[in-house]
A and B are shown apart, each in its own frame.
Chain A
């Protein structure tokens, strides 16, 4: 395994601006995201945190009228100029707000990523599926129903399956877009434990609606408001001694 230095930065974003048509959705965002840490984005709905997250693996490319300028460097390489979006998405995986398994079996869901990357050998796929499901802490629950449809699983299981599916692609970064907002408290805590476990091997960036969640799991937190990053700091610091008045207002529940 490649040794990772402390304070090693995975993403280096500078002067990022994003427009949807006439709407200025992200305003001059500058941020460095630490490797092997969990970075949380918080802020009221519509503040641009999800949009920013999706920029990191270029899912915004799918949106019409979306114009992006500025630099996003992944390990020093510009994701817009020096990389194609497919390679980028292999390296930067994503877990969505709603669990979104394919209408296929559990096994086929997890094997999907490796398969499209060209792995055909059954033994190799078997191993990847098992490893990914174990990493996502769902192997014991699902090992007997690998060939059953994934749509029959509970919401929490589906979401962990989706995480396993992302892990199977062997990404370096996992983006999570409010991964627990559709889940019950027990499933939520399972996903949170999982995220903390996974940060040993992955860099995790998570959008969350829930400030307690950010406090519980994240190392760094960024507070977004109206498309701007108001404050970005160590989670503990941001929540205990916020530097900006607006951050303080938000985390104390004065608006949001």
Chain B
């Protein structure tokens, strides 16, 4: 019965073959063109990244090459007084900002990590159904809330609260910045940690229960160590996010050019100084160049964080 159809189509097929050679060539040209285009997309992404790095190096190295400051001065001195002109002659010690960044981010990590890991354990191990359906989506939404909103709420709610509770003149402080950052990086750490806890094979837990462990013992002794490198990656990702945050911190840190003396003192961080001064500084001046150097430092730090994540999440060799 289908023989009829077949014969019919045989003619079509022959007509198809006739046009085939031309079409075939066309097809292969197309194939190469599209592959070229996709490759170009990949190369363009590489180009953008290299461009960013190159521009930052070019601009940021000016502090050392044009204005003749030493790297040790930049990294080790608290004397920050660059001239806002191309003659230079000021001082460019950025230690205050580096310490400010380290303090606020360190504090944020201290606050956020235990809670974030705890909440990751909750949503995977303790209440997986509720965790998957409600808790995790909510945490994920909070990873997407704009940082200015966090900063704004920090400014209008947290700072007055700190002022009141601790009887201070100003509420702006390292503590406020640490809390705001902790809230911001909490979802990041929590999500990554949850993923890595989730990927721990079920057998491990079964084995632990089979040996008479309680749930906590299996979590503490088996699951967390097995998910360790993933949790660490989450913490580093959170740290990277905290380091790069500018405006939310700027809103609550108090913006004083001085080393922080304690939790309640005001200070500045790398990002907040860039955000505050870049717009006012003269193009090509010592001030602006020093700010570029700080941006370069941030870039290098984010590279460092990536390397750390790669280092910690590399495949373990002792597995085999």
Q: Which residues of A contact B (CB under 8 A)?
A: 1, 84, 86-87, 117-119, 124, 127-128, 130-131, 134-135, 170, 201
Expressed in whole angstroms, the Cα–Cα distance for A203 and B24 within the complex equals 25
* Interface residue from B5, B6, B7, B12 paired with A124 (Cβ < 8 Å): B12
* Interface residue from B7, B12, B23, B24 paired with A1 (Cβ < 8 Å): B7
What mask results when residues 1 to 34 of chain B are scored 1 for a CB within 8 Å of chain A, else 0? Answer: 1100111111011001001000110011000000
Asked if residues A131 and B2 are in contact (CB atoms below 8 Å), the reply is yes
Asked if residues A131 and B9 are in contact (CB atoms below 8 Å), the reply is yes
Asked if residues A135 and B2 are in contact (CB atoms below 8 Å), the reply is yes
Asked if residues B7 and A131 are in contact (CB atoms below 8 Å), the reply is no
Interface residues on B, range: 10 to 19
* Interface residue from B1, B8, B12, B23 paired with A134 (Cβ < 8 Å): B1
- Main SS class of interface, A: helix
Given the known A-B contacts A119-B16, A124-B12, A170-B13, are A87 and B6 also in contact in the complex, defined by CB atoms under 8 Å?
A: no
* Interface residue from B5, B19, B23, B24 paired with A131 (Cβ < 8 Å): B5
B284 to chain A, nearest CB (A): 52
Given the known A-B contacts A131-B9, A170-B9, are A87 and B16 also in contact in the complex, defined by CB atoms under 8 Å?
A: no
Identity of the chain B residue whose Cβ is nearest the Cβ of A201 in the assembled complex:
B6
Asked if residues B6 and A118 are in contact (CB atoms below 8 Å), the reply is no
Expressed in whole angstroms, the Cα–Cα distance for A84 and B28 within the complex equals 10
Expressed in whole angstroms, the Cα–Cα distance for A201 and B5 within the complex equals 12
Expressed in whole angstroms, the Cα–Cα distance for A204 and B254 within the complex equals 79
Residues in B with CB closer than 8 Å to A124 are 12
* Interface residue from A1, A119, A134 paired with B5 (Cβ < 8 Å): A134
Expressed in whole angstroms, the Cα–Cα distance for A128 and B10 within the complex equals 11
Residues in A with CB closer than 8 Å to B28 are 84
Asked if residues B23 and A118 are in contact (CB atoms below 8 Å), the reply is yes
Residues in A with CB closer than 8 Å to B9 are 127-128, 131, 170
Q: A86-B27, A131-B5 are in contact. List 11 more A-B contacts (CB 8 A).
A: A84-B24, A84-B28, A118-B23, A119-B16, A127-B5, A131-B2, A131-B6, A134-B1, A134-B2, A135-B2, A170-B9
